[in-house]
């Protein structure tokens, strides 16, 4: 049901895609910008050589996998076909990644990256909220709705990286600062590309009194390397 590669199985990915996912989730990545980094390359809470010159406002980034098959197909199906069984599967993977990479007991509240109501109306649901709900249930951490989107920004995917931070500036607001004051917040989104949206959401939460923001995404979109192009067949085809 999830991988969409043609080898349909009930309740998850087929054996081939599960193996692929296992490999991708085990890749080492930078805990600030999320790019895949090899063993022996410096990457810690201070970042890596690929990190943007201005560090993000969130303290740590957790990802399940790079944005690549088979998770990529699952995310697309979840997002555009409102596939709740896939959302459950992806949220379980996300909860596991959070458990493996940070101290779950230190998290006070889970918040999804909100969608503007106009866009939610068009799409029928906010998939990040569905993921956040799943992670909240799995980890036993309360789910909040204090963060809202006050401006309907053009989709980031249509903009070059240089314009993305400006596009989301002032896009979020906190409805009740009392609910997040001093809290360590786990912010959930589906795919992180430049990180501009998550960064603006984190900035808004910290300005409203949150003590710490950790971001967890199901996938990190990164520029393909010569090797990844080769294994995906793009250069062999």
Write out the binding residues for Zn ion, residues 15-44 only, by CB under 5 A.
17, 30, 32-33
Q: How many CB atoms lie within 10 A of CB 199?
A: 22
Write out the binding residues for Zn ion, residues 41-60 only, by CB under 5 A.
47-48, 50-51
Residue with Cβ nearer Zn ion (3 or 62): 3
Span of 14-22, 112-120, 156-164, 185-193 interacting with Zn ion by CB under 5 A: 14-22
Write out the binding residues for Zn ion, residues 153-212 only, by CB under 5 A.
none
- DSSP helix/strand/coil, 117: helix
DSSP assignments along 216-231, one per residue: EEEEE--PPPHHHHHH
Closest separation in Å from C-beta 217 to Zn ion: 14
Closest separation in Å from C-beta 148 to Zn ion: 29
- Asked if 7 touches Zn ion (CB under 5 A), the answer is yes
Residue with Cβ nearer Zn ion (93 or 132): 93
- Asked if 148 touches Zn ion (CB under 5 A), the answer is no
Span of 6-14, 61-69, 104-112, 214-222 interacting with Zn ion by CB under 5 A: 6-14
Closest separation in Å from C-beta 129 to Zn ion: 27
- DSSP helix/strand/coil, 114: coil
- Residues 171 and 149 sit within 8 Å (Cβ to Cβ): yes
Residue with Cβ nearer Zn ion (58 or 172): 58
| 86, two tokens | 């896939």
- Residues 59 and 212 sit within 8 Å (Cβ to Cβ): yes
Closest CA to 199 of 212, 184, 185, 215: 215
**Beta-carbon contacts of residue 230 (< 8 Å; ≥ 6 apart):** 236
Closest separation in Å from C-beta 69 to Zn ion: 9
Closest separation in Å from C-beta 47 to Zn ion: 4
Put the strands of the sheet holding 109-112 in their side by side order: 60-66, 212-220, 184-192, 109-112
Under the rule (CB under 5 A), what is the footprint of Zn ion? 3, 5, 7, 14, 17, 30, 32-33, 47-48, 50-51
């Amino acid at each position: 049901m999830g991988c969409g590669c043609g080898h349909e199985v009930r309740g998850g990915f087929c054996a081939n895609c599960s193996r692929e996912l296992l490999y991708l989730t085990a890749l080492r990545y930078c805990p600030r910008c999320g790019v895949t980094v090899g063993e022996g390359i410096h990457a810690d809470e201070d970042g890596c050589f690929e990190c943007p010159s201005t560090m993000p406002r969130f303290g740590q980034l957790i990802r399940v996998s790079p944005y690549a098959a088979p998770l990529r197909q699952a995310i697309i199906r979840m997002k555009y076909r409102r596939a709740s069984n896939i959302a459950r599967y992806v949220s379980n993977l996300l909860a596991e990644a959070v458990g493996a990479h940070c101290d779950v007991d230190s998290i006070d509240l889970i918040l999804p990256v909100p969608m503007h109501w106009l866009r939610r109306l068009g799409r029928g649901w906010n998939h990040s909220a569905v993921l956040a709900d799943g992670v909240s249930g799995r980890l036993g951490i309360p789910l909040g709705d204090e963060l809202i989107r006050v401006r309907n920004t053009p989709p980031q995917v249509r903009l070059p990286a240089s314009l993305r931070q400006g596009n989301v500036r002032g896009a979020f607001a906190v409805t009740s600062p009392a609910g997040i004051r001093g809290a360590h917040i786990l912010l959930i989104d589906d795919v992180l590309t430049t990180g501009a949206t998550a960064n603006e959401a984190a900035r808004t939460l910290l300005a409203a009194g949150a003590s710490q923001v950790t971001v967890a995404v199901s996938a990190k979109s990164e520029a393909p390397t010569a090797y990844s192009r080769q294994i995906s067949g793009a250069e062999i085809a």
